[in-house]
Amino acid sequence: MQKGERMKTDTLLDVKGLSVSFETDEGHVQALDSVDFQVRLGQTLGLVGESGCGKSVTALSIMRLLPKPMGKITSGRIDFQGQDLLELSPDGMRQVRGNEIGMIFQEPMNALNPVRTIGDQLSEVFLLHQEIGAKDAWLKSVEMLNDVGIPAPDVRVFEYPHQLSGGMRQRVVIAMALACRPKLVIADEPTTALDVTVQAQILDLLQTLQKQLGSSVLLITHDLGVIAETCDEVCVMYAGRVVERAPTVELFANPIHAYTRGLLSSIPRLDRTPKTKLATIDGMVPSLSDLNEGCRFAPRSGKVHPQNLLDQRSPLKEVSEGHWVESCPLCLNL
Amino acid sequence: MNAHEELVRITNLRVHFPVRGGIFRRAVGSCKAVDQVSLVLGKGQTLGLVGESGCGKSTLAKTVVKLVEPTSGSIKFKNQEIAGKRAQNNFRQNVQMVFQDPAESLNSRMTVGAILEEPLEIHKLVEKNLRSKRVVELLEQVGLPASAADRYPFEFSGGQRQRIGIARALALQPELLVLDEPVSALDVSVQSQVLNLLMDLQSKLGLTYLLIAHDLAVVKHVADIIAVMYLGKIVEIGPAEEIYLNPIHAYTKALISAIPIPDPTKKRKRVIIPGDVPSPIDPPKGCAFGHRVGASLYPKSVGMKFNMEEISTGHSVLHCPCCI
Ligand SMILES: Nc1ncnc2c1ncn2[C@@H]1O[C@H](COP(=O)(O)OP(=O)(O)OP(=O)(O)O)[C@@H](O)[C@H]1O
Ligand SMILES: Nc1ncnc2c1ncn2[C@@H]1O[C@H](COP(=O)(O)OP(=O)(O)OP(=O)(O)O)[C@@H](O)[C@H]1O
Ligand code: SF4
Ligand SMILES: [Mg+2]
Ligand SMILES: [Mg+2]
């Protein structure tokens, strides 16, 4: 099969050249710069990177939920099943949201209405997107709660969000996101606010449901452990850009960009010799208000970049099948 | 452990908070945030305290620095009882705390210099004209430039603010630092900078750390001893490597197995334990963990008295009939 052909058949979501900027007190800031990635059918793509690198903005752009009027998509396209979401009418987009793309946020409380029962909120999702009556919607809600592993769903369905633990709330949010069997689930740090044992439960649940429904998942996290355990492919973001993307096994075995290498070696690991000096990435993430056009990792790379590399972005290059990296010659380790 | 001179000894420590209810706000029950905790910390050692949200880590930490008074039990610092007594000045100096959120724990209206001078002033430790010199010294110790003294906390990144928090804690030259989730709010690349700094300072200054973290990988990297807490109790304590390689309590095992490993070639079977940590307000009658996982032998543990049992040198586990 030709490469181009493969892309057509098994790509569910194709983000191309996505750029986003925000209008702030300090003027225009560019949060995303030409972001490219694909999510394949039935697979999980991980978006990883440090705070502020643009992960959530990417998710919000796909859902067309950027805060208005500050946030704006300035260029690019987001093809979902061959249709550019950016061209859909607000009504068309509302149909896609919830029905075809489900979203799970970091803080479950933000996704739930504190003054309405769980059952009310779940039923609404069914009523909004499916041609069924209130009674059936309610029954489906109970069934869905059961599917996401909530004990005594017929009782819980009458409860309010604050009566549930953090882990159970996140299960409810997952139930809402998956209610209409979406083709794509976007999960933005779905377990960051949870304890590790509950995180393990939730990741397990997501994987099981994904298999059952055959959905694809875009998983946003800053935890490389979570990436390693759940994702087929990974996109590493830095200062609004994708600097490297590859199949997970390949990325961990053969990280090429200096930033990816730094990230991987700086995490404390259970199997590392205790008390040894951890690798670090010196300095910190650049501020959005003074971003350069060229290599943005330069100040932290430990290598003096000539002016042309700071002024001009090096293109993404495919170094091996499906492994792309921003080709700044001083940040590559081939 | 014998090689270390004993610095802190906590025995049967209990911290119970009253739970109020009704219109008269009467105490209707109590929250057993820390329940029968005992541990010993040697000089120069790091004890890592791990456990899930609400298990009582911060409460234990605050009790050690006397921000919270224990309900019962004893805390000895250099063989002197500190629980229930008014803190002596030398204790106040000797034990300092670093908090999780560097942004919240620093006064945003003071310059970094003023923040670092404050403890020196309160404790009248350094002559006024020498204070700014000490400030520069402290900044240097945590890897910040002297010019930082004239700036305000908000001008710094999260990692730098945490360095300021550490510098403030070091101002009085304490022997014990209680670190409550010092790196949890930081990005990984910055987290490793701060962990390196902490390890560095320890070997240079001979500091003793009580380090709280929910990330077992962090704790395993820097701690000599790991204590695993569950619902107010220490369920297992021992040398870090031993706890990791040879965990005995079912909860320790589950905790270790729940940590995602950043290596996609290692596909392993995660032990998924069901349920959440139960509430310390109305804890289960028997073994709290057995209750959570619905252990078949749980009924056996109801009404039992749980004791720590030493299984090898320095490695003890809360003895429960069914899970060990
Ligand atoms: N409404 C907004 N107005 C101005 N700037 C914004 C807005 N929302 C996001 N940004 C900026 O866009 C950048 C990317 O933010 P985003 O929330 O996507 O980061 P993230 O990668 O999700 O980080 P985190 O891991 O902290 O969630 C940040 O620098 C942020 O300050
Ligand atoms: N001042 C207080 N009054 C009443 N209850 C309290 C008080 N402080 C803590 N608690 C309760 O004591 C228990 C232990 O809390 P603590 O903050 O020590 O947990 P923790 O292990 O530090 O959790 P986290 O990881 O979320 O920080 C919790 O149930 C908490 O609600
Ligand atoms: S086996 Fe018994 S002691 Fe062990 S965790 Fe289960 S109930 Fe508790
Ligand atoms: Mg985010
Ligand atoms: Mg705490």
Q: pLDDT tens digits for B89-106?
A: 678 889 999 988 777 788
Q: A2-100+180-270+279-326 has which fold?
A: Rossmann fold (3.40.50)
- Burial of A48-81, coded b for 16+ CB within 10 Å and e otherwise, reads bbbebbbbbbbbbbbbbebeeeebbbeebebbbe
Residue B189 has a pLDDT of: 82
Q: Would you call A314 helix, strand, or coil by DSSP?
A: coil
> Quick one: which atom of ligand 2 is closest to the CA of B57?
21
Centre of ligand 2 to C-alpha A235, Å, is 37
Domain boundaries, chain A: 2-100+180-270+279-326
Q: Going edge to edge, which strands form the sheet with B208-212?
A: B95-98, B176-180, B208-212, B46-50, B225-230, B233-239, B315-318, B308-312
Residue A31 has a pLDDT of: 95
Residue B321 has a pLDDT of: 67
Inter-chain CB proximity B263 and A262 less than 8 Å: no
Bridge partners for A325 per DSSP: A244, A317
- What tens digit of pLDDT does each residue of B211-262 get? 999 889 999 999 999 999 999 999 999 999 999 999 999 899 999 999 898 9
Tell me the pTM.
0.89
Nearest CA in chain A to B253: A197
Contacting residues of B for A275, CB less than 8 Å apart: 199, 221-222
What CATH number should be reported for the domain whose range is B6-318? 3.40.50.300
Closest Cα to atom 4 of ligand 2? B17
Q: HSE (CB half, 13 Å, CA atoms) of A24?
A: 10
Residue A2 has a pLDDT of: 45
Q: What is the band of B48 on the pLDDT scale with cuts at 50, 70, 90?
A: very high
**Average confidence score pLDDT of chain B:** 89
pLDDT tens track, chain A, 334 positions: 444 444 445 999 999 999 999 998 878 899 999 999 999 999 999 999 988 899 999 999 999 999 988 999 999 999 999 999 999 999 999 999 989 999 998 777 788 999 999 999 999 999 988 889 999 999 999 999 988 888 889 989 999 998 888 888 989 999 999 988 999 999 999 988 788 888 898 899 999 989 999 999 999 998 999 999 999 999 999 999 999 999 999 999 999 999 999 999 998 888 888 999 999 898 878 888 889 999 999 999 999 999 999 999 999 999 999 999 999 999 998 7
Asked whether the bond before B102 is cis by omega within 30 degrees of 0, the reply is no
Closest Cα to atom 4 of ligand 3? B323
Mutate to test the interface with A, among B221, B252, B267 (most CBs of A within 10 A): B221
Centre of ligand 4 to C-alpha B1, Å, is 44
Bridge partners for B318 per DSSP: B308
Within an 8 Å CB–CB cutoff, is residue B187 touching chain A? yes
Nearest CA in chain B to A199: B258
Minimal C-alpha gap between A100 and chain B (Å): 29
Contacting residues of B for A280, CB less than 8 Å apart: 189, 192-193, 196
CA distance B249 to B290: 11
Listed in sequence order, the residues at least 6 apart from A205 whose beta carbon sits closer than 8 Å to its beta carbon are A148, A149, A171, A174
Minimal C-alpha gap between B53 and chain A (Å): 7
Closest to A57 (Cα-Cα) out of A96, A15, A26, A27: A15
Inter-chain CB proximity A280 and B196 less than 8 Å: yes
Contact A53, A240 (CB under 8 A): yes
Centre of ligand 3 to C-alpha B290, Å, is 4
Inter-CA distances, A89 with A73, A92, A274, B33, B89, Å: 15, 5, 56, 54, 69
Residue A4 has a pLDDT of: 45
Evaluate if residue B128 carries a pLDDT over 70. Answer: yes
Closest to B213 (Cα-Cα) out of B242, B191, B245, B184: B184
CA distance B193 to B184: 13
- For residue A263 the two structure tokens come to 């990230």
Within an 8 Å CB–CB cutoff, is residue B191 touching chain A? yes
Q: What is the band of B324 on the pLDDT scale with cuts at 50, 70, 90?
A: low
Pocket of ligand 2 from Cβ distances under 6 Å: B 17, 31, 33, 51, 53-59, 214, 280
Within an 8 Å CB–CB cutoff, is residue B253 touching chain A? no
Q: What is the band of B185 on the pLDDT scale with cuts at 50, 70, 90?
A: confident
Minimal C-alpha gap between B191 and chain A (Å): 8
Residue A285 has a pLDDT of: 81
Q: What is the band of B20 on the pLDDT scale with cuts at 50, 70, 90?
A: confident
Contact map slice: B 63-122 vs A, CB within 8 A:
none
Contacting residues of A for B263, CB less than 8 Å apart: 228, 252
> Quick one: which atom of ligand 1 is closest to the CA of A288?
29
Contacting residues of B for A278, CB less than 8 Å apart: 192, 195-196, 221
Long-range pairs of A157-163 with CB within 8 A, sequence gap ≥ 24: A157/A117, A157/A118, A157/A119, A157/A122, A158/A117, A158/A118, A158/A119, A159/A117, A159/A118, A160/A114, A160/A115, A160/A116, A160/A117, A160/A118, A161/A108, A161/A109, A161/A112, A161/A113, A161/A114, A161/A118, A162/A114
Contacting residues of A for B240, CB less than 8 Å apart: 274
Domain boundaries, chain B: 6-318
Q: Would you call A270 helix, strand, or coil by DSSP?
A: coil
- What tens digit of pLDDT does each residue of B272-287 get? 888 777 777 778 888 8
Residue A129 has a pLDDT of: 85
For A280, which of B157, B193, B273 is closest by C-beta distance? B193
Inter-chain CB proximity A278 and B196 less than 8 Å: yes
CA distance B258 to B252: 10
Cβ(A325) – ligand 1 distance below 6 Å: no
Residue A5 has a pLDDT of: 46
Nearest CA in chain B to A276: B221
Pocket of ligand 3 from Cβ distances under 6 Å: B 250, 287, 289-290, 295, 297-298, 301, 320-323
Residue A9 has a pLDDT of: 59
Contact B173, B90 (CB under 8 A): no
- What tens digit of pLDDT does each residue of B309-319 get? 999 999 999 98
